[in-house]
Amino acid sequence: MTHRVLSFLAIPAGALPGLLLLAGCTQEKPTPPPKPHVSVAFPLVRDVVDWDDYTGRFEAIQDVAVTPRVSGTITQVLFRNGQDVKTGQPLFIIDPRPFHAAYLQAQANLARANATQVNASTELERARKLSGDAVLSKEDYDNRFAALKTADADIDAQKAAVETARLNFEFTTVVAPVAGRASDRKVSIGDVVVANTTQLTRVVSLDPIWFDFEGAEAFYLKYVRQDVRGERRSSRYAHNPVEIQLADETGYPHRGQMVFVDNALDPRSGTIRAKAELSNPDGFLTPGMFGRVRLLGSGTYKAMLIPDESIVTDQTRRLVYVVGTNGKAILRTVETGPLVVGLRVIREGLAPTERVVLDGLARLQPGADVDATQVTLKPRATDTSPRSSPLTAPPSSEAESK
């Protein structure tokens, strides 16, 4: 060890700087890491209409409990349980014999009243001639005149009795009050039914059919304010379109329109009832069936669309990387909306002229230089999917491009 130290110390002083310079030249500078390679694109700009999602059930427009108009004994049942029926189709027969007899008696009473009226008219005419000859007193004349008026009134009463008997006789055939689908029969042949009391069956109409649902107060306020601003007519005054999805469907194939918004909100639930109407010519849609409806939720507006995978989530924030003119990555906080043609709506925080980073987000840091390749965004779907189910008001849960 002593020999090595002495050898070092034996180096001439003038040679030391050169040796140090030579040692420094042998160290290489570290190579900087390559720039991250990313794809960038301008947002796709489309005219968009929002849809709001609700859940509800189908409801018959006409739901009628069929009861007899007259009392009597059931003699025939003329339909199958669950059968589709037409308006006026016979369903039950109540023993018509007593009512037919009452009808014949009422006609006989009318004939007797007509005969009485003819006789009273003849007597009055005779009295008019006799009173002119001063043979008949004025009192007798007045009595015969009153008898004719009584006969006229009796004819009117007997005509009404005949019509009542005819109606009762007609009511012995119980018909379907509306077109639709009958339930099962509640009585059997031989049962005695009571007028306007005994339920015979139930008939619900099918075409058209209602879809009944409830919306939150916040949604209702949104629609009212849109109507005031002229962006979207309220469904209270306009037949705004709806699309309905059944429990086993992925799309919204059933289309209808709004027909009713209730006049008050339920203070217990904070919701308001509404109904949409749609055609159901094949009777496939059944009252009580569950479904999801999406209602026109806005007017048409310009929206920027980008892929969902280009959005970074930071707890409650939604972030997007853009590449500036200097080639550096810039982080933007954005407000997102629904899906449209497979792309996510950006409501705020992004300009249509900014280049959005589409991939390689895990390797990016704000301010980092990037190697960007420009691409063009294209629609990914013809409809909007998947869908969200908001529990409160805006943003809407669905949208479509125009």
What pLDDT does 1 receive? Answer: 44
Question: Please, which residues bridge with residue 399 across strands?
Answer: 50
What pLDDT does 145 receive? Answer: 77
How many Å from the N-terminal Cα to the C-terminal Cα in the chain? 88
**SS3 state at 156:** helix
Which tokens in the block code for residue 37? 């390679």
What pLDDT does 107 receive? Answer: 93
Fold of the 97-170 domain: Helix Hairpins (1.10.287)
Task: Identify whether the C-beta of residue 245 lies closer than 8 Å to the C-beta of residue 239.
Answer: no
Spatial separation of the C-alpha atoms in residues 123 and 35, rounded to whole Å: 125
CATH class of 37-48+301-401: mainly beta
Spatial separation of the C-alpha atoms in residues 164 and 20, rounded to whole Å: 131
pTM beyond 0.85, yes or no = no
Q: Which amino acid is at 61?
A: I
Spatial separation of the C-alpha atoms in residues 344 and 158, rounded to whole Å: 78
Domain boundaries, the chain: 37-48+301-401, 53-60+206-296, 68-92+175-198, 97-170
Element (H, E) at 215: strand 209-216
What pLDDT does 25 receive? Answer: 52
Q: Determine whether 8 is exposed, middle or buried from the number of CB atoms within 10 Å of its CB (0-12, 13-18, 19+).
A: exposed
What pLDDT does 257 receive? Answer: 94
Fold of the 53-60+206-296 domain: Elongation Factor Tu (Ef-tu); domain 3 (2.40.30)
Q: Kindly list the averaged pLDDT for each block of 10 residues, start to end, along the chain of length 402.
A: 45 53 56 82 87 94 96 96 95 96 94 86 73 65 80 89 95 96 96 96 96 94 91 90 92 92 94 96 94 87 88 88 90 87 87 90 85 88 46 45 54
3-class SS string, 45-57 = EEEEEEEEEEEEE
